[in-house]
Amino acid sequence: MNIEAKLLEIATYTLPAIITGGVTFGLLHKFFKNEENKRKFELLRENQRLGLPIRLQAYERIVLFLERINPINLMMRVEPNSLDPQSYATLLVHTIQTEYEHNIAQQIYFTQESWEIILKAKNSIITQIRRFSIEGEVKSGEELRTKLLQELTQTESASAVAISFIKEELKRVF
């Protein structure tokens, strides 16, 4: 037998084996890839199932935060006693800042856009309080409180706007 015949005989045995091996490799690769995707999907679904209550709790806490810093609710909770306007404003701002610091970790559950709106609401309320306290027309904390309450009942508060935005986001997310 010559070399060509031996090569042909070797090729007739090895070529089908190589093709069969290639097909087997491709099928096994596809199978393992599908199994990996199934495991990832199950893990994601389990994380969502476990994470949903935590995210809902974060939304609840932020709505509570926004309600607590709503100037009308805030001034009903924090009495001016005998403070001057600047001291009362400082007390209100301190209360807002304390509430914010208590809830700052909740930002990991919110989109960047919604967290920015929450911050803008907080800062807007602080700015309103500061502006009224330095205008000079009020002589006591009680007068500041009265003036703020009169002014703020005429307009929608920044916290109400932020709560509306969060409710809409919550509808989109869930």
Give me the pLDDT at residue 1, please. 61
Q: Which of 1-5, 53-57, 162-166 has the lowest mean pLDDT?
A: 1-5
pLDDT of residue 49 exceeding 80, the answer is no
Tokens (6 digits) for 52: 């949903």
Query: Which residues span the domain enclosing 140?
Result: 3-173
How many separate helices (H) and strands (E) can be counted in the chain? 6, 0
Q: Could you give the number of structural domains in the chain?
A: 1
Residue of 124, 114, 103, 108 whose CA lies nearest to 166:
114
pLDDT band at 6 (very low <50, low <70, confident <90, very high): confident
Residue of 88, 107, 87, 63 whose CA lies nearest to 149:
88
In sequence order, the 6+-apart residues with CB closer than 8 A to the CB of 91 are: 78, 80, 83
The answer, as to whether pTM is greater than 0.85, is no
Q: Which residue has the higher pLDDT, 48 or 72?
A: 72
